[in-house]
Structures are given as structure tokens and as C-alpha cells.
A and B are shown apart, each in its own frame.
Chain A
Amino acid sequence: MLQVSIYRYNPDTDTEPYMKEYQIDTGGKDLMVLDVLSLAKEQDSTIAYRRSCREGVCGSDGMNINGKNGLACITPVSEATGGKGKLVLRPLPGLPVVRDLVVDMTMFYNQYEKIKPYLVNNTPVPPIERLQDPEDRDKLDGLYECILCACCSSSCPSFWWNPEKFIGPAGLLQAYRFIADTRDTMTEQRLSDLDDPFSLFRCRGIMNCVNVCPKGLNPTKAIGHIRNQLLQQGT
């Protein structure tokens, strides 16, 4: 029997959030946290959480698992609990809770949209694809794979304090994805859009984002690249 403690809050019925305990029969197997949640939901259909792909590619089920942000579907219970003690599930920190483990991601998406997350190329469209050297394409590796799970931004103290003004690691990683793309013609504007005290420069290099990214991406590094390019542009 696995002891599971789940954060519960239903705005229709609860005045305060609370932790609820469940006993889950895992059949002796090391299940993924998402599997445990679905067993818990069989016991108690009122538990709310998001999920879709169940293989770590859609970014639906970012949550706080025993104190660390991660995706429920690719986090084995043993990894979360260190093989002992109970599993503790809470919503991603720093974002308003809609219900139980479901958070309101509006602020997160707004910051993403702010960086103009789309390729702009003002040169005439060729009849086939635009050519790109494989080496130039390689520059996008480690950037384009982001699944917008918000594990990083919701673990970033700078984002907690300034969610309206600081773009946050996920948005900045995507900003750099387009700055780094040799096919994009808006580089200068992208850089100058970030050149204010908050959008980028609130990053304090705390690296929480890197430690939690379930896709192994490195927003801090991308932020460093943008900083350097801004400094170069300034001189």
C-alpha cells in the first residue's frame, strides 16, 4: 500500500485547501505518479488533474511531486519518494489554483505570447523550403523541444514575484529559439523587446528552472545567450 497525500481544493465547496490522504494498492509495482493518480481517482472521482499523452510529450501534468516540479506521467514513484515514505502531490507553485492539482496557466501563456513565439521572415517566399545548413539547424536543438509544461517558470522565484513583468524561463527559452533560428529576420527587434529591467534581467541565475525541466532543457543557458547578444548590440 502506498500512502498518497493529495492537495484538494474545490472552489464550489471548499473555503480552504487541504491535504487528503489515500491508500493506493500499486500491486507491488513501481508505477508512474500519473498511474497512481488514476488509481486514486477510481477511489475518489472528485480528484481533478490534467493529463493527455501519458508519455511526457504534451506538458499537461506538470505538478509538484514531493517538493519538486515534474511531469506525473514520467516520474516513477520510487524516484519521487526515494523508495520510502509517502507520495505528496501539490499543484505547481506560484500559479492560481483552479481546482485540486489544476492551476490557471494564463499568466504563463501570456508571457509566452509576449515574446512573439512565431517565425517571421520578410524575404520573398521561395517555391520550395527555405534552405538551412544542418549546423544552423543544430542551434535549435535544446530549444524547440519545450512542451510548455510550466515546471520551470513555476519553480522560479523571479517569476513568482513578477509574473506580470518577468517573461520567465519558458518564455525566454522560446525567445531564444527564434533569435537562434537563421530563418528568422526579426532578431534585432526580438532583442530590443527584451531590453528592459524586467523581461529578461530579472533572472537571478538561480537555476531552479534547469533542475526541474523534464525535457532536460536549459533555460538559464538560453538566457545567458540573449544577455550576451544584448550586450554586444549595446556596444
Chain B
Amino acid sequence: MANMRTLTFDAVIVGGGGAGMRAALQLAQSGQNTALISKVFPTRSHTVSAQGGITCAIASADPNDDWRWHMYDTVKGSDYIGDQDAIEYMCSVGPQAVFELEHMGLPFSRTEAGRIYQRPFGGQSKNFGEGGQAARTCAAADRTGHALLHTLYQQNVRCNTNFYNEWYAVDLVTNQDNAVTGVIAISMETGESVYFKAKATVFATGGSGRIYASTTNALINTGDGVGMALRAGFPVQDIEMWQFHPTGIAGAGVLVTEGCRGEGGYLVNKDGERFMERYAPNAKDLAGRDVVARSMMQEILDGRGCGPEGDHVFLKLDHLGEEVLHKRLPGICELAITFAGTDPVKEPIPVVPTCHYMMGGIPTNVHGQALTQGADGNDKVIDGLYAVGEVACVSVHGANRLGGNSLLDLVVFGRAAGLFIEQALKEGIEQRESSESDLERSYNRLNRLENSKDGEDVSKLRKALQTSMQNNFGVFRKGDLMQAGVKELEELRQRIANTHLEDKSAAFNTARIEALELDNLLEVAEATAIAAEGRQESRGAHSRYDFPDRDDENWLAHSIYDPTTKKLGKRQVNFSPKQVDTFQPKVRTY
């Protein structure tokens, strides 16, 4: 600790997924002294798994498409707690951000006219819900995330971005004014810890699906950014809002894209009935994800599930024909054969709603500046800290994200944060300083692990945590179960504070990383549990048996979880877009 190296940059970006690399590119292009830290080589980030596409009104499939229609869908999809200023920004700037990706070389699929191919996704409409299904999701076959992430990496190579690959960020460094002065990170290859000191620290650490036992998320999605923010005493917003994707492959958790239904696939129960016609007569299989996931669970609970245990339903694709499947959904065909043992050209895929996306996260404004609440309850910018991508809650997804809107979120707000920081650096923001004892605090966790002599095993505790979350905070939620869940997590906190790191070696010690990740899983899980128990209504992805209705009187609001008191507060939703009239809350049907 005493002889820890310090590396000084204008900006440090933690995360090399779509959001982090888009921000890094902006800063590298403008010649700022930037470092990008990633715990995996950037193209191994979770963005690579995104399949279906990036939703944006580029008016290719429909020359009359309008970003305001996209905005309407997104506000409705969010069940009205998405911030309308942020959604407006994303939908209106979106086309520019997507065209930029194409100019960078992203190999989008094409229409006969040579434009970017767009497919229908759930929750999309024309003319503010009046004009029927829209096709607004720009795709590179069913490998859009791969194409996007590699393209961004390639452009960063071109601009000589400073990569610190396989470096693991452990904790934020904050000073007595609660300003962020950088992060402590550890080189996985050598085990060395370094203080990355920066005027701007940008979190782009992605999601945290691994708090659940069954998830579509990569093994690295352990919520490190949220964990670090909470440990530093900063709040998170709407963290109870977890999206369960309708079509995770039963048993494996691996995702098959909503694009399957966009291309014409549909869900059937054990009687072969296309049941979504009953739940969402208009949009059917392309209703909001929360709606489809609940309908599927209802079918399963009512005894109409498929398979010997009746614990899943089927996604039928064979009627689309081999040619369409191999052209538009080649990756899905591969995944289904590998993980479900079925060839979708011939047989349906067994699917079940699976934890997929964290709508909540670190609250930010549209420039990516992280926010906390002042004593007066008003927003206060956290000096030196920014967040973009899935770890952030800006909030464009509210209580339920629409498919394809995450990739758009990444590039729009990665870019916006980059632009803002570039400007701020030019105007001259000062570097805040931290003291030895501030650094010492951020180094605590590493110290504890290095000195641990006995204690419990990391993998057992991780399993216990994931099981508790899966059982108590799933698609349908109940007050008593959630209270029990909160208790279980309290106990787990005691035990996790006592984990044992047996292997103390320096070189590529993945046991050390997994122990550090477990602390983050716990932070995210506990925040989720307390927020879910506290939001006494049903809205979007948060669906309670004991409070089955949306309660606009009390809960047309963001929840704010404060880790210092472990209490849930509220924050106003933004209803003031700049270029269009406010979309007023309505009953949400599809």
C-alpha cells in the first residue's frame, strides 16, 4: 500500500463494453489523456452477446418513421418512470449515433435499397401507438452486439486509446468533500495495485445479472460499478427494476433474441396455443417484455407449461423456413443446437423468462454526470464521477426497457459523456486530491482478503446469494417473501464479510477477483431487495401479488436507495422534454 504506484490521467474509463468504448473513442479522438480499464480484453465484454439489434428511427424500413414515435414507445415501455428529457435526447440524437457506427464500419445487414436493415421488436409502434407495429431495430444479422463492439474496439485501436486490459477496478477513491479522485485497480497478470488518478472517472461497468441463479448475462456481469458506488456511499436509482427476458433457453439461461419474434416467431403452450393472443390482442408476441414474461409465467403456473415438468413454453420458428432462419438468425440456430439440442428449422425452442437487464443503476443526467441527493432533496452532481451504459440510470428505461434500446443507450450516452468531459477538460476542471487515509479506505477490501486466514468459501456463498434472489425477487413478487429475502441477505452479509482467500499468489489469481466480485453481487442484491420490498405497487417489471396495481399517486417516481441508511427514498421523474409535449401517463396495454 505504502509504495502503491499512481498513474495520472485526464479521464479514466472503467469498462470496455459498448458504452465505455464509445466514451473512450470520443476522448481519444479529441486528444485527451485517457485510460480505459477493463477486467477482460474489451471484445470479451458482455456487449458482444447482444443479438437482435439497436433500435433507432433511421427511417429505413419506413421512410416516414419519426424519433418522436420511438420516444412515445419508450416512455410507454418504461411505464412512465423513464425521464422524458433523457428519452427525448436518446431518440433524437440516436440516428446520428447509429450513422456514425455505420461510418466506422459496423457491418449492418442491408435492405435491397442498400440501407440498414431494420426488424420489428417488442413495444414498437408507428404514429404514437395508432399506426400498428413498427420495424425500428437496426441489425447485423443476430450478432449486432458483436459487430458493434468489434467496430468500436477497432476504431479505438485506430485512435491509440490507452487500454489497461485485464485490470480489475477494486474501489473508488473519494476525498473528504465526497469528490471522486480516481479508482484503485489491480493488474490481473501481475497482481500489482495502482491508483488511477483522474479528473473524471467514468463507470461503464455494465450489468449485474449474476445476482440471480438463472440469467442471460455473462459470468463477468457482477455489478462491480454499482458495488463500488454503494460502498463509496453513493445512491442507486430504481434498482428493484430487473428485466426478465421472455426467451432464455430453459435450463441453460442462454438468450434467444426477441428478434426471433420480430421475424415472425411466436410462443405456444403445451396445447400448441398461441397464448399471447389472449394477453395482448394487438401486439401479441411483440408486447412489452414485462407483459410477455408475466404471461408466460401465468401459463406455466396454470399448468399449461411444456415438458415433463411443465416448466417452460415453446418458441416456434420452423414456419419461417430454413432460408430466413439461416440468413437472419444464424447465431440463434447455433445457440439452440448447442444449448437446447434442438434445431429451430425443425423444432421449437424451450424457453422461460430469465433475468436479463438491470434497468436501475447510478443516477445520472444526460451528460453522464453521476448524481446524489443533497440535504434539501435536490439533485447534486458527484464531483468527478460519471456513469454510462447499463450501470447508469439516466433514466431512459424506467420500469421496463424496450428491446434494442440498450445498445442505443450505450452509444448515445457514451458519446454524450465523452463530449461533455472533453469540453469540461478544455475549460479546465481541476484535479481533486485525496489523502493517504482516503486511499487506505479504498484499499481495505484487498487488505482484508490478503490477511484472511479462515472463513467461508466464495463459490458456496455466491450460490446461496443467487438462490435467494431467484426465489424471492423473481418475475412475481410478494411482500412476505421479499422480507424473508432481505433477512437472508443480511445474514449473507455477515458471512461474506468473512470469506477466505486461500490462494494469495499474485499472477492471474482469479480466486481473488471472484472474492472481490462477490462483495459487489451482495451490494447489488441487497439494494435490489430493499428497493423491491419498498416499492409498494406494480409497475413495469416490478410485479407484486400484494400490490397488483400501478399507484401513480405515490409511486410515479424513481426510487432512490441510500446505502448509508439502507433506506428507500424517492426522486422526481422528469416530465419536461424540450422539443415535444409531455407524454402523460396512461393505462398501459398492448
Contacts and interface: CB of A to CB of B under 8 A. Distances in A.
A60 B48 CA distance: 12
Given A56-B338, A113-B157, A134-B110, A12 B102 contact: no
Contacts of B107: 137, 140, 144, 181
A147 interface: yes
Given A52-B218, A133-B114, A58 B505 contact: no
A59 interface: yes
Contacts of A131: 113-115
A16 interface: no
Contacts of B154: 117-119
A147 B143 CA distance: 11
A4 interface: no
Contact of A129 (B102, B147, B458): B102
B358 to A, nearest CB: 17
Interface stretch (B428-436, B470-478, B507-515, B575-583): B507-515
Contact of A60 (B40, B114, B457): B40
Given A58-B49, A59-B44, A137-B109, A129 B508 contact: no
A230 interface: no
A46 B503 contact: yes
B520 interface: no
Contacts of B157: 113, 117-118
A193 interface: no
Contacts of B103: 121, 125, 129-130
Interface string A46-68: 10111111111111100000000
Nearest to A113: B157
Interface in B440-487: 457-459
Interface stretch (A97-105, A164-172, A197-205, A217-225): A97-105
Contacts of B335: 55-56
A49 B510 contact: yes
Interface string B157-177: 110000000000000000000
A35 to B, nearest CB: 10
Contact of A45 (B113, B339, B503): B503
Nearest to A148: B43
A53 B253 CA distance: 11
Interface string B344-359: 0000000000000000
Interface string B87-111: 0000000010011001111011111
A133 B110 CA distance: 7
Contacts of A60: 40-41, 44
A56 B48 CA distance: 10
B517 to A, nearest CB: 13
A196 interface: no
A74 interface: yes
A132 B110 contact: yes
Given A59-B43, A119-B105, A131-B115, A45 B511 contact: yes
A41 B512 CA distance: 13
A190 interface: no
Nearest to A145: B143
A58 B503 contact: no
Contacts of A116: 158
18 contacts: A42-B457, A46-B505, A52-B44, A54-B254, A55-B335, A58-B43, A58-B44, A58-B49, A98-B508, A109-B41, A113-B157, A128-B95, A129-B99, A131-B113, A132-B114, A134-B111, A144-B107, A145-B146
Given A48-B508, A57-B143, 7 more contacts: A12-B507, A46-B505, A54-B218, A55-B339, A129-B103, A133-B110, A145-B146
Interface of A: 10-13, 41-42, 45-46, 48-60, 74, 98-100, 102, 105, 109, 113, 116-119, 121, 125, 127-134, 137, 140, 144-145, 147-148, 178, 181, 183-184
- The 3 A-B residue pairs with the shortest CB-CB distance, nearest first, are A119-B105, A131-B114, A129-B102
Interface of B: 40-41, 43-46, 48-49, 58, 95, 98-99, 102-105, 107-116, 140, 143, 146-147, 150-151, 154-155, 157-158, 189, 218-220, 254, 331, 334-335, 338-339, 457-459, 502-503, 505-511, 514
